Structure 1
């Protein structure tokens, strides 16, 4: 083929590559996954030599010796691990492409006037064709929660759970994201004490104790209505906080206002493990958090997750840095927590059942049980060991393409050399 013709066809080739990276299968597949080690992440635990029947995108049966109905494809698992699709953490997947390019980042609101806008909803900017989605899916990740990031105010805004199957809309209720402690102090008059003062005023406004036309109002009418929903228990407030003293104040505030909270980060959460367990507060910990990176994390320890779970706290995981581009590290976080005392089953639950339940989508995601969406991963080996990999991901019964922009580039530049430059021959 001439160089001239190749240049004409190049844009079409690139479109085909891009489509292969991001487009899931169109139709759900009815299938029977046979002879797997099924880690249900539910009350039944792990089931050796068991089968999972999927019809219409939903799990219909789980157990040994299931028969394949007519027309149902059979996947021979040969005893390999089968798990629910994993949680990708609190990320910007689909609302951030390149963190250094502001035009591709939609997770942060920065307003000079009335910067406290709980009504800000980052899911409205979600791009289901993001190139980050297939990269995450390759590591068995099937859902994530989009987290609003603090910009002009310590009340960041709302986010929601997104399935990485090409869907454009969140599943389940939204969550409100707040940052407390030293990292939020610069947004609250350089004092963490002011955070509680401002929260008190916002609660008073949302509960109608401050006139809507007050010249000192912090919230817009939409912001009042949004915060009022969370104060009524309609959705969870996810609080980024680390220091034990701040967590103690948070528990008192949440108990007084009767709101549902979760903690993200929680470097010193283990110091208040009994109180967190009693209050039913799930904690999304950094499983790699060991040495303090700030004065709020002096009590950081790799045994954080194990100590919390031993006290009865529901533990999941979240990364601190570059979570969107490195969602694959979630397995490493869980694996390190297991290496430091967290039971293996609880490590898997922290990537599946616990976040699904904490974020209000446990009726659909997070376990392998009849009636749940068929979001499944067949693994080559231990899913909490990063030396092993996902062989196949199904979301809603659809087999996801096990390739991404990264694998396409790998294959392109590993291809044998030809007489044409690579840009023309591929």
Structure 2
């Protein structure tokens, strides 16, 4: 048997051995510094009562109903479960192993496939889910990646509570600028030409049976829904000139867009604020990694927020395996001028609002699902950690494949180290 097969079998056994989220429970978190991520702000020495997986009361010195577990926070921070960014968690296990990556579609005949829905491949048992949860991450936007076309396809919000289905409306992912030019005739100008043709098809201005049609019947129907305001179009774009064209297009077509990346978004902050366009920034983007990012700055988030732009966070690069670094992004944005409360909102309320799920998650408020994290210290300081977590009122085991391996090799175990004869 090959070493790779042995490794995969051991990995599967370890994943199966990790316990899932405990049964639903009622809990009273007492004497916490409650960061609500709402207009109420931060409440000191407050209690949060959870019953039936829902927050029922918030206030000082709440009475504990019979049978409810009481957790003394000792003044430590309590936040909503955090947003992990736009990721491939659950549709990618090992980026270098094609059989484990389901985030993109590449079809030669008609490469633009807005009907592609990456959430259909989501695996709630992915080993990446508990790796993210132990860092206080409770939900993510599962995004489609560009394969054969710059119209990547659809994604959705997944709660990392073991459920298999997304919540809220779907979103359509598009890649513009230099990163998508190779998928549009090697010119970013052609992206707008092709996009205008697809809009004309979806709106019926080009016959469905045209020999030059770019979309399938299903693709036209899906794009028409987004053009009609059902769901948000998330555009991966960095250069200010491309963002300007995007705002003009969105205004002309009356569609709701969000920006992922936006390294130069600060240059158009007033226009973005006026249009109500949220920006998911990589707050560590500071160098001109490409000609689209010459204006990158660590003050991007602060400048956008100061202008009134809704700011959230997401990572460039390997966001799925490094979702835990999302707190580092927010903390660095604070270090470069973003108010602390705005940074927390960018990991909680703002993404929930942008993706249409703020009525369920993203804040600590009566009636919300009890997705909560109790922290040992400042949640935006990576020197501190999540102590306890509840998703829908259910306690989450603060263990993952990584912590199991850490404990095995640091403290010793009855199980011998791998490969020992």
Instruction: Please report the TM-score for the alignment, with normalisation by the length of structure 1.
Output: 0.95
Aligned partner of 2:281 in structure 1 is: 285
The question of whether the paired residues in 2 share the 8 Å contact of 1:212 and 1:221 is answered with yes
For the residues of structure 2 that align with 1:31 and 1:109, how far apart are their CA atoms?
Answer: 44
Aligned partner of 1:62 in structure 2 is: 58
Q: How far off is 1:390 after superposition?
A: 0.1
- SS of 1:249's equivalent in the other structure is helix
Aligned partner of 1:18 in structure 2 is: 15
Which of 200, 209, 213 aligns to 1:217? It is 213
For the residues of structure 2 that align with 1:29 and 1:16, how far apart are their CA atoms?
Answer: 28
Which of 112, 136, 147 aligns to 2:108? It is 112
* Residues 1:421 and 1:73: Cα distance change in structure 2 (over 3 Å): closer
For the residues of structure 2 that align with 1:79 and 1:246, how far apart are their CA atoms?
Answer: 46
Q: What is the Cα-based RMSD across aligned positions, in Å?
A: 1.7
The question of whether the paired residues in 2 share the 8 Å contact of 1:23 and 1:129 is answered with no
* Residues 1:232 and 1:12: Cα distance change in structure 2 (over 3 Å): closer
For the residues of structure 2 that align with 1:170 and 1:422, how far apart are their CA atoms?
Answer: 38
For the residues of structure 1 that align with 2:216 and 2:118, how far apart are their CA atoms?
Answer: 18
Equivalences for residues 157-172 of structure 1 within 5 A: 157-172=153-168
Aligned partner of 1:271 in structure 2 is: 267
Aligned partner of 1:403 in structure 2 is: 399
Aligned partner of 2:133 in structure 1 is: 137
After superposition, give the CA deviation of every residue in 1:63-110 in whole Å (9 maximum; x if it has no partner).
Answer: 111111111110000000000000000000000000000000000101
Equivalences for residues 88-103 of structure 1 within 5 A: 88-103=84-99
Which of 347, 350, 357 aligns to 1:351? It is 347
Q: How far off is 1:410 after superposition?
A: 1.1
Which of 195, 201, 208 aligns to 2:204? It is 208
Indicate whether 1:381 and 2:377 are aligned.
Answer: yes
Aligned partner of 2:4 in structure 1 is: none
Aligned partner of 1:250 in structure 2 is: 246
Aligned partner of 2:74 in structure 1 is: 78
* Residues 1:127 and 1:345: Cα distance change in structure 2 (over 3 Å): same
Structure 1: gaps of 5 or more residues: 1-10
The question of whether the paired residues in 2 share the 8 Å contact of 1:381 and 1:388 is answered with yes
Q: How far off is 1:415 after superposition?
A: 3.3
Which of 333, 336, 348 aligns to 1:337? It is 333
Q: How far off is 1:412 after superposition?
A: 1.2
Aligned partner of 1:147 in structure 2 is: 143
Q: How far off is 1:348 after superposition?
A: 0.2
For the residues of structure 2 that align with 1:112 and 1:356, how far apart are their CA atoms?
Answer: 35
Q: How far off is 1:411 after superposition?
A: 1.2
For the residues of structure 2 that align with 1:80 and 1:65, how far apart are their CA atoms?
Answer: 16
* Residues 1:353 and 1:421: Cα distance change in structure 2 (over 3 Å): closer
The question of whether the paired residues in 2 share the 8 Å contact of 1:159 and 1:175 is answered with yes
- SS of 1:274's equivalent in the other structure is helix
For the residues of structure 1 that align with 2:9 and 2:191, how far apart are their CA atoms?
Answer: 53
Aligned partner of 1:7 in structure 2 is: none
Q: How many pairs are equivalent?
A: 413
The question of whether the paired residues in 2 share the 8 Å contact of 1:282 and 1:313 is answered with yes
- SS of 1:251's equivalent in the other structure is helix
Q: How far off is 1:21 after superposition?
A: 2.9
Q: How far off is 1:15 after superposition?
A: 7.0
For the residues of structure 2 that align with 1:325 and 1:98, how far apart are their CA atoms?
Answer: 9
Which of 267, 291, 299 aligns to 2:295? It is 299
Aligned partner of 1:3 in structure 2 is: none
Aligned partner of 2:37 in structure 1 is: 41
- SS of 1:60's equivalent in the other structure is strand
